[in-house]
Chains A and B, each alone.
Chain A
Amino acid sequence: MDFIQQFINGLSLGSIYALIALGYTMVYGIAKMLNFAHGDVIMVGAYVLSLAAVKAGLSPVMSIIFPVVICMLSCTVLGVTIEKIAYRPLRNASPLAVLITAIGVSYFLQSVALLIFGSNQRKVESVIPEFSLSLGEIHLSGEAITTLGVTVLIMICLALFINFTRVGKAMRAVSEDKGAAQLMGVNVNTTISLTFAIGSFLAAIASILFVSSYGFVGPYSGAMPGIKAFVAAVLGGIGSIPGAMLGGIILGIIESMSKAYISTELADAIVFSVLIIVLLVKPTGILGRKRITKV
């Protein structure tokens, strides 16, 4: 019985990781940059959600939709703005320079949140209607079910979008070769901006589900899930959309299982050891494509 419950715990944790990892992987796959500020966009989204939820004196349905829409809009705008101000001037610079800038952006968002909202964590009410499944001793919360469902849905939509639409095609072209894509008439800047818009939109969804599951947000709330999701994305093969999903779920389950049956103290060490072993066996992650260097 315990085993099943622990498995479900891992699954619900993993689906949060997977959801955040989708945003990471999306941006990485197309723009070829690690957006370290992704976790902090989620944090901003959670704050926006908490503000919007307080201000709304609307009907029950609207009081859910209104904050969600506001949160999605502001995250998307934020993501695109960050891209325009901080990342675009470095489009042709070394990837490391962009990485450091992303870290700078992450510090910036954290300090702004600290200045505006203070250092204490704040409670955010869940926007997901309360329900849960119970089977004997086993509990499955409504948040977990919703998160898992939404993550799968997003994964499918993203995969369809990238593989079967014109914009998706442009994105893939930019991902393969920016120069060649430009020659073929693809507007690289617009395409990358759009990628960030989608990535930040995913961050907004992640923040909604994250705070619904855990209920609190502080200036540094985005950092840890951000790193874990980064690990998940790499584990699954960074750049691969089903890979991010798989990586997140696996990471969550490993974490839960090692806490349950090996040691809570060493859980992090075990999670990272598994990651290293997987990468040694399969250097581009579980579903990552291997790029062959031709001379």
Chain B
Amino acid sequence: MKNKKNIIYAAIAIIIYLLIFALVETGTASRQLQNLIVPVLVNIMLAVSLNLIVGFLGELTLGHAGFMSVGAYAGCLFTISCDLPAVIELPIAFIIGGLTAAVFGFIIGIPALRLKGDYLAIVTLGFGEIIRSILNSMDIVGGSGGLKGIEKSGNYTVAYVLTIITLIVISNVIRSCHGRSIKAIRDNVIAAESVGVNVVYYKMFAFVLSAFFAGVAGVLYGQNLGIIKPATFDFNKSIEILVMVVLGGMGNIKGSIIAAIILTLLPELLRDLADYRMLFYALALIVMMLFSSNPTLVEFRQRLFAKKEGGK
């Protein structure tokens, strides 16, 4: 049963890739869509990795853009200073970016052991602002002008492979005993602890893993754009990712993917509205939240789910 599911997923992944390949290489897709493939994939990676902390571990963080920026700067600095062929250079850059972010994930995981809810949210927000403030004052990475002259070597194939790796790793972790422990902590810390779940370890684990993939996504972002500046990775960026997670459903990876696609494409599709674009985006956000979280609708959905579970 499980194997069969895996094969189906692998087939879907390959078909989607072939579809993208066909659309881009034949020129059927508009420039706009071609250009949006990598940002969409970056956002999927960010949303899925944040979902690990927010959805599965149940801790609210507002500093995901901080992890992203640390990874982006580390990885892109490496590609600037090294002159290796792209085949070798890129994987190393992604790993460096990911690991650097993971170290910061570990550091910010420490307060997460002591703090809960909104207090943790504000600490992670502060952490993101501290990183931004320091990057702004560091002239060796370009300060507020940003890191310029990054070789643009990120393309949709690289991005797609990275996204698939992220999805495989995170969904496997969640299905493993690690994942069950993480979910147990979310549902009830005290109960989890009393049955022998190592809360400290698993909280750290979730933060480090999540930060790692955010860092990789950051490197990809930088490689695709050729310039990164601290102001991009502000509080609003973290919020943007959080919106994807919440809209897609907490602890729902497929939901995060779909929400990341919709929310990345939405502002671009609304371009025809010109001046009213952001207004409609805000309205869409409120309406979507009302529809997806209003108790009456949620109850309706849960009843449908219950039926499905029961039939299995």
Contact = CB atoms under 8 A, between A and B. Distances in A.
- A and B found bound together: yes
Interface of A: 28, 34, 86, 89-94, 96-97, 99-101, 103-105, 107-108, 110-112, 114-115, 227, 230-231, 234, 238, 263, 265-269, 272-273, 275-276, 279-280, 283-285, 293, 295
A276 B190 contact: no
Interface string B254-298: 000000000000000000000110110111011001101111001
A67 B125 CA distance: 36
Contacts of A285: 119
A111 B136 CA distance: 28
9 contacts: A93-B294, A96-B60, A97-B292, A100-B289, A108-B279, A110-B278, A234-B118, A265-B137, A268-B129
A266 B136 CA distance: 9
Contacts of A92: 295
Contacts of B111: 276, 279-280
B72 interface: no
A293 B243 CA distance: 29
B278 A96 contact: no
Contact of B134 (A112, A266, A279): A266
A269 B130 contact: yes
Interface of B: 54, 60, 111, 114-116, 118-119, 121-123, 125-127, 129-130, 133-134, 136-137, 190-191, 235, 239, 242-243, 246-247, 250, 275-276, 278-279, 281-283, 285-286, 289-290, 292-295, 298
A88 to B, nearest CB: 10
Contact of B190 (A93, A231, A293): A293
Given A94-B250, A107-B285, A280-B111, 12 more contacts: A93-B293, A93-B298, A96-B60, A96-B246, A99-B60, A101-B289, A103-B243, A107-B281, A234-B122, A238-B118, A265-B133, A276-B123
Contact of B123 (A89, A97, A269, A279): A279
Contact of B282 (A94, A107, A263): A107
Nearest to A33: B118
A213 B245 CA distance: 39
A255 to B, nearest CB: 12
Contacts of A268: 129-130, 133
A53 B129 CA distance: 37
Contact of A90 (B122, B127, B136, B290): B290
Nearest to A263: B137
Given A279-B111, A283-B114, A272 B129 contact: yes
A151 B292 CA distance: 39
Taking chain A's interface residues, is the majority helix, strand, or loop, or is none over half, making it mixed?
Answer: helix
Contacts of A97: 246, 289, 292-293
Nearest to A109: B282
Contacts of A227: 125, 235
Contacts of A96: 54, 60, 242, 246, 250
B243 A100 contact: yes
A36 to B, nearest CB: 9
Given A97-B293, A279-B119, A284-B119, A108 B283 contact: yes
B129 A100 contact: no
A234 B292 CA distance: 29
A178 to B, nearest CB: 13
A231 B122 contact: yes
A108 B134 contact: no
A272 B118 contact: no
A269 B190 contact: no
B289 A272 contact: no
A265 B290 contact: no
Q: 3 smallest A-B Cβ distances: which pairs?
A: A272-B126, A97-B293, A107-B282
Contacts of A112: 279
A111 B279 contact: yes
B282 A266 contact: no
Given A234-B122, A265-B136, A293-B190, A100 B290 contact: no
Given A103-B239, A107-B281, A94 B293 contact: yes
B114 A280 contact: yes
B295 A269 contact: no
Nearest to A285: B119
Contacts of B298: 93
Contacts of B119: 234, 238, 279, 283-285
B293 A105 contact: no
A101 B290 contact: yes
A80 to B, nearest CB: 17
Contacts of B123: 275-276, 279
A104 B130 CA distance: 25
A263 B129 CA distance: 16
